[in-house]
Each structure stands twice: as structure tokens, then as C-alpha cells.
Amino acid sequence: MFDTINFEDIMEGLIAIERDTTIPKNVRVKIKNAIEILTGSENDSMDLKIDRSLQQLGDVAEDPNIPQHARMQIWSVVSRLESK
């Protein structure tokens, strides 16, 4: 389903957002949750992991306090995840 390069790109994008100190802490926490979901339990299917992480990211993208550049990065990651 995921090839290694695309998955690494998605994870790098999420990690970059999570480390951005211009983004409110509550948003970074949700990004971290999405990262943990994607890299978490081996028992869950990748489809389930993607769905759960998309829920987290969808909530984050709608946060009115998030800077525009971060919103665009999040939508980019969401788009790549949805294409999987």
C-alpha cells in the first residue's frame, strides 16, 4: 500500500510540523498523536492507521489559531495520506 519513500516523506512532513514552534502547542500535540498512530501498533492495518491519523489532522487543520503556512503543510500531508 505505502511505498517506503512516500511514507518517509509523509512522516518527515508531520515531524517538521510537530517541531515548528510557531504552531500552538495543542496543535503540535495532535500532530504528535497522528505520528504515533501511523508508527504505532503492528496489529492495526495501515488503512485503520491512516483513518485515525486523518481524523487527528482534520481537527487540526480547522483550528483557527494555526498559522497559514502550517495549515498548508497539514493539507499537503492529508492529501498524500488520502491518496493511499
In this prediction, the residues of the chain whose per-residue pLDDT falls under 70 are: 1-5
Amino acid 61: pLDDT:
86
Amino acid 16: pLDDT:
95
Amino acid 59: pLDDT:
86
- pTM of the full predicted structure? 0.86
Amino acid 2: pLDDT:
57
CATH T-level topology, domain 4-82: de novo design (two linked rop proteins) (1.20.1440)
- Return d(Cα 32, Cα 14) in angstroms, integer: 8
Q: What is the pLDDT of residues 25-47, one digit of tens each?
A: 999 999 999 999 999 877 888 88
The domain locations on the chain are 4-82
